[in-house]
Every structure is written in structure tokens, then in C-alpha cells.
Structure 1
Amino acid sequence: MTNHSSPQNPAVTGVVLCGGGGTRMGGTDKPLIRFRGAPMVEQVVTRLAPQVDQLVISANRNLKTYAAFGQVFTDSPMESRSPLTGVVRAFQEVASEWLMICPGDAPLLDTALVKRLRDAAPPSGAAFCHDGYRAQVLHLLLHRSLEPILAAYLDGGHRGVEGWLNTLARSRVVMVDCHDIAASFRNVNTTDDLD
């Protein structure tokens, strides 16, 4: 990991989300599936770590396995019905001003994505990617000041990432055109996606 932190460029922690249930793949812990010779989570970590000041992994099972790739924290399995619970826990676990959220099953992550989102993000806001076809809301840069708003959204029984982003004032969130790196957002939802 590289120290990118300065008063003009506050610290960013990368958060790799690995807490999903893998329901579309029969309950498989998807980030641990091998893709092109290595577990997907390893590939995400390898690509994300040089772009951030610190890296953590949010997981709810196979914690010892994930610990080989970085610092691991968990949220309650009862709370894990949304990736946003991992984001709230990340805010509780780290002190960085910004969190860069990435799914653990997107092994082709662009190696300059954090800079692209950081350059576009409004102060105290959020920036997420659009691949030219749809929003990629789990490739998301968030400022710490959004944590109470996010926690209240979850406390209200809501779960959707895009739904939460839609609740934010337009001045606090920006969608970044990333069509030129669309392959970066490829994730694995079925065994066919491993090809």
C-alpha cells in the first residue's frame, strides 16, 4: 500500500466486500473462487492495495482464509443482508476520511480507479462508477461524513446501495463515466462467468 495521504488528499481505506451469501452460485464464497490461477479476492487486493493507504476485508465466513489477504473484520450474520452493513462496519473499524468500496468478486479491477473517483468526488460526498450500460454502485468512494446517513438508512430497514445513493442530495454524489474500463467491473455470479 502506498501512502497517498496529505492535507489536500486525505487518507483512503480500501474495503473489499466479501460478506455475500453467494446465493446465485449455491452458497459458494465467491471471492475465494480461483479465476485465472488465483482467488478473486487476491486479485482484487493486488490491484486495489497500491491505490489506497490501508486495506481491509469485510467477510462473514472463512475469516482465517481471508486473513491471508489483509486485515479482516466481520459484521453480524443477521445484519449481512446488505453490502452496506460491511460499509458501516468499515467506518467503525478505520479512521480514514474516505472509503473505497470494491466487491471481492471483481478480479479485473482497474489499477487507477481510486484516483478517477477521488478526482471526481464532491467534498464530503460519494462517487460511483457507470460502465456505459449501468451503474456499478459497489465500486464506490465514500466520505466519512456519510456514515450517519448510511446507518440511518439501514436502521430504517432499507438494504439497496443504489436506493441509498438516491437518497443523497445531488450535490453530494456523482456518477463517474467509466465506460472505457468496463471490463474492470466484471464480477462472477455464475460458473459461466469464470470463463
Structure 2
Amino acid sequence: MTSFEHPGAPYDAVVLAGGGARRLGGADKPGVRVGGRALLDRVLAACADAHTTVVVAGPRPTARPVRWAREDPPGAGPVAALDAGLRRTTADDVLVLSADLPFLATETVRRLRDALRSGGAEGALLTDADGRDQPLVAVYRTAALRRELAVLTAGHGGLTGLPLRRLTAGLDLTRVPDPVASFDCDTWDDIATARARIREHGHVLDEWISAVKDELGIDLEVDTGVLLDLARDAAHGVARPAAPLTTFLVGYAAAQARGGPEAVAEAARKATALALRWAAEAEEAEKAEKAERSETDTAAGSGGPGPDAG
């Protein structure tokens, strides 16, 4: 696939998706699904606005287009993998991620980038619930990474097998605590925990919408509250099956207009107004029917002529 690029975006991303996943019994960890989406696709969604995204691994289908790179030799370790990915980047800042972060979000990426820009550090990384550094959930100055990689190469004759701490030890780093976004999936218990968490009441709707958009190839942010209110009004004011059908038609209308979130909001406004008019008419009809029944009951109780009296 070709690179997923946004002209003017100020950072590139390198995602390390290799490794043997020994604690998962050698399973294809980047392809393990959480919330119906591969772990790798979840990570790629979080850095969708990167100028160029490089995945260091063997090529595979992904929800978003990326560039591919491979460390030499394959399996040479995370430092060698990072070096291979970095060679395909050009931006001044690079986001470095592992491919097993089920709760990474665009907001996390924004916080890291804000932390890097707000000071003179050479990198900003997340720390986990125990305060440990997570160098594969971080954004770095590209020049600083290349400098340290060159130092390691000269000092060790190569990068094979070197741990990441050798690389980050020479960097001035800012730390951003985040026990949720830093959660990674090393074991099947971790996978089970992640799958359970996204089905919790406070997360399931956002997770589902995000998964559907990835599945359908839709990159559109809309106000889900507006659509839920529309569905409620259509169900109550017209009939229960009107809810899903109306929201579908709103989306179709926005697509026909080739619009973005504003087009969805305008179509939803019109459909909501229509549903409310239907509800008002139904309420008026119900009031009229009640009034007619009341008059009939009154007439029958007083011995007067009924509604069919001539």
C-alpha cells in the first residue's frame, strides 16, 4: 500500500509490529482482534493524521495505507527495527509505537506532541500505572533519535539485539503518565482484559462507532449525540423501526451532498424537525380522539342523544 499522508502535518509515525510474541504462543499479535479490530489497525487509527506512517514488519492488509520496512536481519530487535522505520521518515518529529496498544487514542498522541512542543526535551513518552517508562508510546525529535542510533552503531558495530533503554538513555525526555493508553497486550490475559474493558458501559458506544468507521473506510467525525437524539425522536414520534432507517437516510443524504460533519448535522436537523412534526400531529389526533370520547361518554351519561342520533 502507499503511504497515508496529510500535507502539512508535522510528524511521522513508526509502528513496530514484528517480534515473536512468545508469551502469546507465537500468535500473530498485531492481527489479534480486540473489539472486532486488529490491534495494529487500532494503533494506526490513533495516528491517522501522521504525514507518513511506517510499519516495521512483513506486509499485511491494514485498514489504513502505510509504508512498510523491515529490520536487517528480521528479528534483530526493537532498536534495529526503529532504525529501519526511521530511514523512511522525513518529518522533524516521529511518533514511535508498538502494535499492541488497544487503548491508544488520537487524544493520547496529541498530549504527547503537546508535551514535546511545550519544552526543550528531545522526546515525550508515556509512563504506565507503575511509573515505568514506555519508550514505544512516545514522540521524539527525529534528529535526536538518529544521533543516538549513530552512537550505538559506532559503539557496538551494529544495532542487533540492543535494548531500547540503550537508545533512550542518551535522550532528554519528558514523561506523561497514562495507565490506560500505555496498556499493552503481551499475554492472552491482557487480551481478555482489553476485550472486557471496551464492552464496559462507558466505552462500548465509542468503541463500536470507531470500529464501524474503520470497517467501512469512513474517516468522518460526527456528533453521535445528534444522531442518537434523532433516532429517539424518530422512534417515539413515528415508529420504532423508523430510528435506524432514518439515521441511514441522513447519512446517505450527507454523502449525496458530498459534505462532512456539517452536512450530517444539517440533514439530522431536518429529519428531527420532521419527526417532531409527526409527533405533534399524533398528539393532536390523540387529544381530539380523547375529547370526542369524552363528549360521547357525557352525552350517554345524561340520557341525551348519542353521536348517531338524528
TM superposition score normalised by structure 1 = 0.80
- 1:1-195 aligned within 5 A: 2-3=6-7, 5=9, 11-50=10-49, 52-59=50-57, 61=58, 63-66=59-62, 69-78=65-74, 80-121=75-116, 122-123=119-120, 125-133=122-130, 134-146=132-144, 147-154=146-153, 156=156, 159-168=162-171, 173-179=172-178, 182-195=179-192
Cα deviation for residue 4 of structure 1 reads 5.3
Letter in 1 for 2:68: V
RMSD: 2.4
Q: Is the deviation greater in 109-118 or in 133-142?
A: 109-118
What are the Cα deviations for residues 112-162 of structure 1, in whole angstroms up to 9, with x where unaligned?
223222222254712211124121111121212121322332551561212
Identity across matched positions, percent: 23
Aligned residues of 1:66 and 1:72 also touching (Cα < 8 A): no
Change (3 A) 1:101 1:30: same
Hey, which of these two has a bigger chunk of helix by percent? 2
Q: After the TM superposition, which parts of structure 1 deviate over 4 Å for at least 4 consecutive aligned residues?
A: 1-4, 66-69
Structure number with larger C-alpha Rg: 2
Task: Please give the alpha-carbon distance, in whole angstroms, between the structure 2 residues aligned to 1:57 and 1:30.
Answer: 14
- Counterpart for residue 8 of structure 1: none
Whether the 8 Å CA contact 1:126–1:174 is kept in 2: the answer is yes
Do 2:108 and 2:181's aligned partners in 1 also have CA atoms closer than 8 Å? no
Tell me, yes or no, if the aligned pair for 2:70 and 2:85 is still in contact at 8 Å: no
CA distance in 2, matches of 1:56, 1:67: 14
Q: Which amino acid in the other structure matches residue 101 of structure 1? A: V
Matched residues, number: 180
Higher relative contact order (CA 8 A, sep 6+): 1
Structure with the larger strand share = 1
Deviations 1:3-51 (CA, angstroms, capped at 9, x unpaired): 553xxxxx2111111011212212222111111211110111112213x
TM-score by length of 2: 0.52
**Unpaired segments of 5 or more residues in structure 2?**
193-310
- Contact 2:55–2:69 (CA<8 Å) still a contact in 1? yes
